[in-house]
């Protein structure tokens, strides 16, 4: 099964990447919002501006204009400030408790997050997987690139690709976490959008991409 073979090749090459880079589950949520349409270095800058005491209580209480100023390095700060307030208000329903969120079915929590302003499917699944440990596969542009180049007959839209990976893998938050991390890391190091380094890629023997 090629999906599993790719995972095994990535795992042998990268090991445990300790993904997602955040100190708390709530910081994961903030990062998932801020990373929309920007790169991670900009997100890190914005998170530093939010102070070492970043918490849902802080985001809830901070003045909107002040929040916009702090997250400006992440771009689209007017919209993202609204989105951060919105997802924090959703989290408040669970008393900012990871354990209380985890007591509910994945499908229920996913539906709720998708109803939050600014939370699309990738953001919602990132929050579900990395903040709360729910087994849901995250699809992004890097995943689409992998599927196109290998190729994998995973479909063209978010839901189709998500279903494809979840169908071909054990239901496991750990596996989904590692796989997404591997795809992102490999896309940045080898499977680049332009001038990919196919010769050194850890899944070269499994990929039909021609350079």
Query: Using one digit for the tens of pLDDT, what is the confidence trace for 54-101?
Result: 999 999 999 999 999 999 999 999 999 999 999 999 999 999 999 999
Question: pLDDT per residue over 140-177, tens digit each?
Answer: 999 999 999 999 999 989 999 999 999 999 999 999 99
Question: What residue segments make up the domains of the chain, in order of their start?
Answer: 2-18+137-206, 25-131
Fold of 25-131: Endonuclease III; domain 1 (1.10.340)
Q: What percent of the chain has pLDDT over 90?
A: 91
Question: pLDDT per residue over 102-116, tens digit each?
Answer: 999 999 999 999 999
The 3-state DSSP class for residue 118 equals: coil
The number of beta carbons lying within 10 Å of the beta carbon of residue 86 is 16
Class of domain 2-18+137-206: mainly alpha
Q: How far apart are CA 208 and CA 151, in angstroms?
A: 7
Structure confidence at residue 20 as a pLDDT band (50, 70, 90): confident
Q: What percent of the chain has pLDDT over 70?
A: 99
Structure confidence at residue 18 as a pLDDT band (50, 70, 90): confident
Q: What is the pLDDT of residue 53?
A: 78
pTM given for the model: 0.94
Q: Is the pLDDT of residue 211 over 50?
A: no
Q: Is the pLDDT of residue 1 over 90?
A: no
- Residues 6 or more apart in contact with residue 136 via CB below 8 angstroms: 106, 110, 125, 128, 129, 162, 166, 173, 176
Q: How far apart are CA 97 and CA 91, in angstroms?
A: 8
Q: Do 2-18+137-206 and 25-131 share a fold?
A: no
The structure tokens listed for 46 are: 């914005």
Q: What is the pLDDT of residue 21?
A: 79
Could you tell me where the DSSP H helices lie in 15-140?
Answer: 25-34, 40-49, 56-61, 64-70, 77-92, 98-102, 106-114, 121-126
- Residues 6 or more apart in contact with residue 209 via CB below 8 angstroms: 149, 150, 191, 196, 198
Asked if residues 129 and 19 have their Cβ atoms less than 8 Å apart, the reply is no
Average pLDDT, the chain: 95
DSSP 190: T
């Amino acid at each position: 099964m090629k999906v599993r073979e790719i995972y095994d090749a990535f795992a042998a090459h990268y090991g445990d990447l300790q993904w997602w880079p955040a100190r708390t589950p709530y910081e994961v949520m903030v990062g998932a919002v801020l990373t929309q349409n920007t790169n991670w270095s900009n997100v890190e800058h914005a998170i530093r501006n939010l102070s070492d005491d970043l918490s849902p209580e802080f985001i809830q209480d901070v003045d909107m204009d002040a929040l916009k100023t702090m997250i400006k390095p992440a771009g689209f700060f007017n919209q993202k400030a609204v989105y951060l307030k919105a997802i924090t208000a959703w989290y408040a329903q669970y008393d900012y408790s990871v354990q209380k969120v985890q007591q509910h079915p994945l499908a229920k929590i996913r539906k709720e997050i998708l109803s939050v302003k600014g939370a699309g499917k990738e953001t919602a699944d990132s929050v579900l997987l990395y903040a709360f440990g729910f087994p849901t596969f995250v699809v992004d542009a890097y995943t689409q690139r992998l599927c196109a180049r290998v190729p994998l007959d995973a479909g063209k839209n978010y839901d189709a690709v998500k279903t494809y990976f979840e169908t071909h893998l054990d239901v496991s938050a750990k596996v989904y976490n590692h796989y997404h991390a591997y795809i992102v890391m490999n896309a940045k190091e080898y499977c680049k959008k332009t001038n990919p380094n196919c010769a050194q890629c850890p899944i070269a023997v499994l990929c039909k991409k021609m350079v």
